[in-house]
């Protein structure tokens, strides 16, 4: 199946369905979203950036949680026409969501919706950035040899970490679907791998972090990722991730979420690939969502890296990788990974994986 490539410029939003919509919203507001608009069974949530909304929470038709879609902003009306020319694509339709515009949707090889948006009326980014300092403008950070902050003091407010934008999302796929799904997305959009992680025993790629290729223009290290999982587990979203202002803001939000009784999945720590400071949480339905700050930017001159899988490709500091991050199960929060096999048993550890 030949696809017509669509040029996208940034992520727009994701769509989740929740069995208990009000419980989901309780978490999402504590997480730092702002409610923008509500209908009978759908709530549009935004950050403080330009997107009119970055997250759509819908009432699930059953008692399960579902990841439905990821939407992307395209460069021009012509790109929307290209999207509509692809197999399984919808015609160009009017969007009834905040910001309006036109939209095309299609279905990926695993049944998830990919949407393309053009002509949305964007917001003006909030005049006060989403930090939690008491001063309107955040003050400089003093290091050992550069101390620009003199005679003034940093004081912070308690509260959620205000979300700026949707940074990325990604899927765990059966190994047999990994390469074909990756190839489909790379054929559909101007995505390019930033980092590839391979299995050192088989030489096969297991995780790929893809950025939006904007030529010389710098863009986030990854906007979409894929990871190969157990063959028996159906394709499912692993997490979606949202940028916050800085480490202080992120940590204050972490403390608030803990004080409200929400369940931490993994964090706070710093990734190696992409360099983000990460903080993963289970939402009110059991989905994993991430706050991140201080991520890398890449462009066409940044070479693609390929390296073997190892714990030190995931993080450089922070708590050890917990079972819950791999299993995706809230009941595994706080549990350690199974110990590696010893030379006598010679049996690999099994990591259960939950479907979204």
Q: How far apart are CA 47 and CA 162, in angstroms?
A: 7
pLDDT band at 96 (very low <50, low <70, confident <90, very high): very high
Tokens of 272: 């190696």
pLDDT at 30 over 90: yes
pLDDT at 355 over 70: no
Nearest partner of 91 among 68, 122, 116, judged by Cα: 116
Write down the pLDDT at residue 343: 47
Write down the pLDDT at residue 353: 55
Give this prediction's pTM: 0.93
Q: 153 versus 223: which is more confidently predicted?
A: 223
pLDDT at 128 over 70: no
Lowest mean pLDDT among 11-20, 73-82, 133-142, 186-195: 133-142
Average pLDDT over residues 143-162: 90
Q: How far apart are CA 318 and CA 333, in angstroms?
A: 16
pLDDT band at 352 (very low <50, low <70, confident <90, very high): low
Whether a cis peptide bond, with omega within 30° of 0, leads into 268 is yes
Nearest partner of 7 among 169, 118, 100, judged by Cα: 118
> Phi then psi for 334, rounded to 5 degrees?
85, -5
> Phi then psi for 21, rounded to 5 degrees?
-65, -40
Coil, strand or helix: which one is 194?
A: strand
Write down the pLDDT at residue 86: 98
pLDDT band at 140 (very low <50, low <70, confident <90, very high): confident
Q: Please give the span between the terminal C-alpha atoms of the chain, in angstroms, as a whole number.
A: 28
Q: For CA atoms 180, 185, 186, 188, give the dihedral sign.
A: positive
């Amino acid at each position: 199946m030949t696809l017509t490539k669509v040029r996208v410029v940034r992520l727009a939003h994701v769509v989740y369905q929740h069995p208990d919509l009000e419980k989901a919203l309780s978490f999402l507001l504590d997480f730092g979203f702002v409610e923008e608009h509500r209908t009978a069974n759908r709530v549009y949530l935004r950050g403080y950036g330009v997107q009119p909304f970055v997250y759509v929470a819908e009432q699930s038709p059953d008692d399960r949680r579902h990841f439905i879609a990821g939407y992307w902003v395209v460069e021009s009306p012509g790109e929307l026409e290209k999207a509509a020319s692809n197999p399984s694509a919808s015609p160009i339709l009017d969007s009834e969501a905040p910001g309006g515009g036109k939209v095309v949707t299609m279905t990926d090889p695993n049944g998830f919706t990919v949407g393309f948006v053009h002509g949305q009326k964007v917001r003006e980014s909030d005049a006060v950035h989403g930090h939690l300092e008491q001063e309107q403008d955040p003050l400089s950070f003093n290091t050992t040899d550069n101390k620009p902050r003199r005679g003034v003091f940093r004081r912070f407010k308690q509260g959620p970490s205000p979300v700026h934008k949707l940074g990325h999302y990604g899927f765990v796929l059966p190994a047999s679907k990994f390469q074909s799904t990756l190839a489909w997305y790379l054929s559909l959009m101007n995505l390019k791998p930033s980092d590839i992680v391979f299995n050192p025993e088989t030489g096969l790629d297991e995780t790929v972090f893809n950025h939006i290729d904007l030529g010389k223009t710098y863009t986030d290290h990854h906007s979409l990722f894929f990871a190969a999982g157990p063959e028996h587990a159906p394709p499912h979203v692993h997490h979606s991730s949202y940028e916050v202002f800085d480490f202080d803001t992120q940590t204050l939000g972490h403390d608030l979420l803990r004080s409200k009784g929400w369940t931490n999945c993994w964090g706070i720590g710093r990734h190696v690939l992409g360099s983000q400071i990460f903080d993963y949480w289970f939402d009110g339905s059991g989905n994993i969502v991430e706050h991140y700050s201080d991520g890398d930017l890449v462009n066409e001159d940044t070479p693609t890296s390929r390296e073997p899988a190892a714990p030190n490709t995931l993080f450089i500091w922070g708590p050890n990788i917990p079972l819950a991050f791999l299993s995706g199960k809230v009941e595994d929060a706080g549990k350690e990974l199974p110990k590696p096999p010893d030379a006598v048993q010679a049996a690999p550890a099994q990591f259960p994986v939950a479907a979204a």
